[in-house]
Amino acid sequence: MSEYIASIKKWCEEVLKNYDESINTLRDNVSTEKLDEWKERFIQFKEELSVEESLQDQDAYNRGSELYEQLQSLLENDSESNHTADERAEHSWETVPIGGHTLPPLPYRYDALEPYIDEEIMRLHHDKHHQSYVDGLNKAELEIQKARSSNDFDLIKHWEREAAFHGAGHYLHTIFWYIMSPNGGGQPSGDLMREINRSFGSFDQFKKHFSEAAKNVEAVGWAILVWSPRSRRLEILQAEKHQNLSQWDVVPLLVLDVWEHAYYLQYKNERDKYVDNWWEVVNWPEVGRRYQQAKQLRWKAF
Q: Compare residues 109 and 126 and give the one whose CB is closer to Mn ion.
A: 126
The minimum distance between CB 199 and Mn ion, in angstroms, equals 26
259 is a contact residue toward Mn ion (CB under 5 A): yes
- Are 238 and 275 contacting, i.e. CB atoms less than 8 angstroms apart? no
Only one of the segments 49-57, 145-153, 241-249, 253-261 lies at the binding site for Mn ion (rule: CB under 5 A); that segment is 253-261
Can you name the residues that pair with 225 across neighbouring β-strands?
A: 236, 254
Only one of the segments 13-21, 66-74, 250-258, 268-276 lies at the binding site for Mn ion (rule: CB under 5 A); that segment is 250-258
Q: Compare residues 148 and 273 and give the one whose CB is closer to Mn ion.
A: 273
What are the phi and psi torsion angles at 124 (to 5°)?
A: -65, -45
Rounded to whole angstroms, how far apart are CA atoms 221 and 208? 18
Rounded to whole angstroms, how far apart are CA atoms 135 and 99? 8
Only one of the segments 36-44, 132-140, 254-262, 270-278 lies at the binding site for Mn ion (rule: CB under 5 A); that segment is 254-262
- Are 13 and 5 contacting, i.e. CB atoms less than 8 angstroms apart? no
Task: Give the number of other CB atoms < 10 A from CB of residue 138.
Answer: 20
The minimum distance between CB 90 and Mn ion, in angstroms, equals 35
The minimum distance between CB 254 and Mn ion, in angstroms, equals 15
The CB-nearest residue to Mn ion is: 257
133 is a contact residue toward Mn ion (CB under 5 A): no
The minimum distance between CB 176 and Mn ion, in angstroms, equals 7
Can you name the residues that pair with 223 across neighbouring β-strands?
A: 238, 256
CA dihedral (193, 199, 204, 206) in degrees, to 10, reads -110
Q: Compare residues 35 and 172 and give the one whose CB is closer to Mn ion.
A: 172
257 is a contact residue toward Mn ion (CB under 5 A): yes
Q: Compare residues 57 and 257 and give the one whose CB is closer to Mn ion.
A: 257
The minimum distance between CB 261 and Mn ion, in angstroms, equals 6
Q: Compare residues 12 and 168 and give the one whose CB is closer to Mn ion.
A: 168
Only one of the segments 193-201, 209-217, 255-263, 291-299 lies at the binding site for Mn ion (rule: CB under 5 A); that segment is 255-263
Calculate the alpha carbon distances from 246 to 109, 171, 216, 236, 240 in Å.
Answer: 33, 16, 15, 11, 8
Q: Strand, helix or coil at 206?
A: helix
Can you name the residues that pair with 279 across neighbouring β-strands?
A: none
Rounded to whole angstroms, how far apart are CA atoms 64 and 59? 8
The minimum distance between CB 258 and Mn ion, in angstroms, equals 9
Which residue ranges make up the site for Mn ion (CB under 5 A)?
257, 259, 262
